[in-house]
Homo-oligomer: A and B are copies of this chain.
């Protein structure tokens, strides 16, 4: 089961008027610094503070009345949890979220705030997939994967459609699209949409150092697991392996995958604070980090940079501002 442009266009119709059509922002200061025209796709301004709402709403809105009664289960380090929780509330169905006990408190509180039931698990000692499967079986609920699902991918792909439409409305066209890669849901959707609209565009995924499973998988031509790694500052991008569905799409659509260090990510968060006046979480800053570190060849180009989320614990944000990370 693959995903087509038509699926993404259908997702765009489903989420219209529910998801925020996030703006494309431009910073003259950033344009001057990079020598590029940088279109900042601010998914930080999306409902739940991250693009994840798009995929979740696209998935949940297609459940049958019977399925809606039984509800949904999701496991997530944070933003997917919030996306599913809010989509479930808007569609009036129950949701249980299986969430690591060390997830950012702001994400846990928000998920609970949307009315979802929370089931914590120990990241080191428990298997979240098994917990979710048990819960789903007990309650007859539907498991909503974070990325490896065609409806999720199609929903996230609406980010790419919007970028293409917004660039056209500005009288320009995209040479380059850059977004973060965890499991690959966002960039497989964005890749499909961008390939369809701008066949010649470069499409670049960004992974945190130590979690470059997609980069290595693409190099090997098959899905490779990440080695045991220290934690990354980018909690949202700590995926162990690209998905079964996302990987072949990423193979077809991505031009390149680059990595960024925690220090580069922290620097990007400070730049977003000081210059762009935007709150961006670590994983959401990865594309900006690559741009500011000079890893993207953008001079003279029109580059869309996806700031994918803004859910960062105040305490971590304070430490980043104080250069204590």
Which residues on A are within 8 Å of B, measured CB to CB?
A: 20, 23, 25-29, 44-45, 47, 49, 106, 270, 273-280, 310, 314-315, 317-318, 321-322
Given contacts A20-B26, A23-B25, contact A277 B318 (CB under 8 A): no
Q: Which of B26, B28, B318 contacts A321 (CB 8 A)?
A: B318
Q: Is the CB of A25 within 8 A of B45?
A: yes
* A317 CA / B276 CA spacing, docked (Å): 15
Q: Which residues of B contact A106 (CB under 8 A)?
A: 274
A–B Cβ pairs within 8 angstroms, 13 of them: A20-B26, A20-B28, A25-B45, A27-B45, A28-B47, A29-B47, A44-B277, A45-B276, A277-B279, A277-B310, A317-B321, A318-B318, A318-B322
Q: How far is the CB of A278 from chain B (nearest CB, A)?
A: 7
Q: Which residues of B contact A25 (CB under 8 A)?
A: 23, 45
For this chain, the copies found in one complex come to: 2
6 interchain residue pairs of minimum CB distance: A277-B310, A44-B277, A314-B321, A277-B279, A318-B318, A23-B23
Q: Which residues of B contact A276 (CB under 8 A)?
A: 45
* A270 CA / B277 CA spacing, docked (Å): 14
- Most chain B Cβ neighbours within 10 Å, of A47, A49, A277: A277
Given contacts A28-B47, A45-B277, A277-B45, contact A314 B310 (CB under 8 A): no
Q: How far is the CB of A13 from chain B (nearest CB, A)?
A: 19
- Most chain B Cβ neighbours within 10 Å, of A28, A29, A106: A28
Which residue of chain B has its CB nearest to the CB of A25? B45
Which residue of chain B has its CB nearest to the CB of A321? B314
Q: How far is the CB of A319 from chain B (nearest CB, A)?
A: 9
Given contacts A106-B274, A278-B279, A318-B318, 20 further A-B contacts (CB under 8 A): A20-B26, A25-B45, A27-B45, A28-B47, A44-B277, A45-B276, A45-B277, A49-B277, A274-B314, A277-B278, A277-B310, A278-B278, A279-B279, A314-B321, A314-B322, A315-B321, A315-B322, A317-B321, A318-B321, A318-B322
* A146 CA / B76 CA spacing, docked (Å): 50
Q: Which residues of B contact A28 (CB under 8 A)?
A: 20, 47
Q: How far is the CB of A307 from chain B (nearest CB, A)?
A: 9
Q: Which residues of B contact A20 (CB under 8 A)?
A: 26, 28
* A280 CA / B47 CA spacing, docked (Å): 19
Q: Which residues of B contact A310 (CB under 8 A)?
A: 277
Q: Which residues of B contact A278 (CB under 8 A)?
A: 277-279
* A202 CA / B102 CA spacing, docked (Å): 47
